[in-house]
């Protein structure tokens, strides 16, 4: 999943690219919680169209 989010992309579209969303979304949220993936939560609430990225999380720019 980290490879799919190497570049920023919409949460749901990228999750569905990995597999069944019911199986993938809990893992995705866990990776967000652990800081391995990142998204901008200061300007909006987490939603299925939020841009998520591994590179931004690693850079600490969220």
Name residues whose C-beta falls within 8 Å of residue 31's C-beta, 6 or more positions apart in sequence.
1, 2, 37
Residue ranges of domains in the chain: 9-59
Residue 47, pLDDT score: 87
pLDDT for 10 = 94
pLDDT digits (tens, 9 = 90+) for 17-61: 999 999 999 999 999 999 899 888 888 888 888 899 986 666 565
pTM of the model: 0.80
pLDDT at 48: 85
Kindly report the three-state secondary structure assignment for every residue of the chain. Answer: CCCCCCCCEEHHHHHHHHCCHHHHHHHHHHHHHHCCCECCCCCCCCCCCCEEEHHHHHHCCC
């Amino acid at each position: 999943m980290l490879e799919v989010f190497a570049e920023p992309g919409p949460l749901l579209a990228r999750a569905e690219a990995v597999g069944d969303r019911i199986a993938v979304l809990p893992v995705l949220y866990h990776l967000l919680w652990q800081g391995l993936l990142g998204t901008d939560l200061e300007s909006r609430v987490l939603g299925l169209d939020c841009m998520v990225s591994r590179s931004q999380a690693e850079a600490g720019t969220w």
